[in-house]
Structure 1
Amino acid sequence: MELEVAQKPSSDFEVIGGAPAIDRLVEAFYRNMDSRADARDIRAMHAADLEPTKNILKLYLGEWLGGPAEYSKQRGHPRLRQRHMRIPIGPAERDAWLACMNAALDEVVTEANLRDRLKGAFHKLADWLRNDLENEHDKHR
């Protein structure tokens, strides 16, 4: 009689719960952006119809977390800084984005270690995307 050994998920994509969890995370993120007073300014930077943006973020996060490389297949290299240069991102925008994403992570990601790691990774990513040179001195607080 062989013992069945449960395999450990091999990627954060699997740990988070795959595409259905990514969908819930992105929906929660944009719901936060629509409802939080501190996100009013960053919401105004987006189109009224968020569906195309949601779909892109779902593809990106799925690949970023170790899932299928659909983002790269459809859109090429992420080039996140280049894609965001048209949007002024300073400390306030970074912090509002992070508030929305952290609340979404709290809602969707049940695995505490993964949730904490993702919060740290998103903070680094959001800070790296800053392009508001007038507030550059705040970057390394």
Structure 2
Amino acid sequence: MDTLPEAARCRAIHPPSLKGSEAKLYDYLTGYLGGPPVSVEKHGHPRLRARHFAAAIGPQECDEWMLCFRRALDETIDNEKLREIIWPPVERLALHMQNRE
């Protein structure tokens, strides 16, 4: 996200450092994708949409976030079938977070 000019709008709604966001996303996705509920144990119910409502997430920000996530999947997961399994719930999550037209 920091290096993609085409993700500038998405990057702008995140804090200056992505370390905290990265850690929280990791914890959340661990449970969301079937692992232990690490995020719930650390932070309680995620209420993701409510927690993100202060950030204007429109179609462009959503698309930019999915672009970044897709690139991260492609860079870190060699198994194409596994990427295909992971992508649909991640895409649903991204679309659910959109709160502006």
Q: TM-score, normalised by structure 2?
A: 0.91
Kindly indicate whether residue 59 of structure 2 is the aligned counterpart of residue 85 of structure 1.
no
Partner deviation per Cα, 1:84-129 (whole Å, 9 max, x = no partner): 1111111101100000000111111122222012222221111111
Query: How far, CA to CA, are the matches of 2:52 and 2:94 in structure 1?
Result: 11
Match of 1:46 among 14, 21, 30: 14
Query: How far, CA to CA, are the matches of 1:61 and 1:124 in structure 2?
Result: 13
Residue segments in structure 2 that go unaligned for 5+ positions in a row? none
Query: How far, CA to CA, are the matches of 2:38 and 2:94 in structure 1?
Result: 22
Residue segments in structure 1 that go unaligned for 5+ positions in a row? 1-32, 136-141
Aligned residue for 1:71, secondary structure, equals: helix
Per mean C-alpha deviation after superposition, the further-off stretch among 104-113 and 88-97 is 104-113
**Superposition RMSD on alpha carbons, in Å?**
1.2
Query: How far, CA to CA, are the matches of 2:96 and 2:15 in structure 1?
Result: 23
Aligned residue for 1:34, secondary structure, equals: coil
Query: How far, CA to CA, are the matches of 1:37 and 1:92 in structure 2?
Result: 13
Structure 2 matches for 1:15-94, cutoff 5 A?
A: 33-94=1-62
Question: What letter is aligned with 1:34?
Answer: D
Aligned residue for 2:46, secondary structure, equals: coil
Q: Which residue of 1 aligns with 2:66?
A: 98
- Identity in percent: 38
CA-CA distance at 1:62 after TM superposition: 1.4
Per mean C-alpha deviation after superposition, the further-off stretch among 57-66 and 99-108 is 57-66
Query: How far, CA to CA, are the matches of 2:22 and 2:74 in structure 1?
Result: 19
Q: Which residue of 2 aligns with 1:113?
A: 81
Query: How far, CA to CA, are the matches of 1:73 and 1:112 in structure 2?
Result: 31
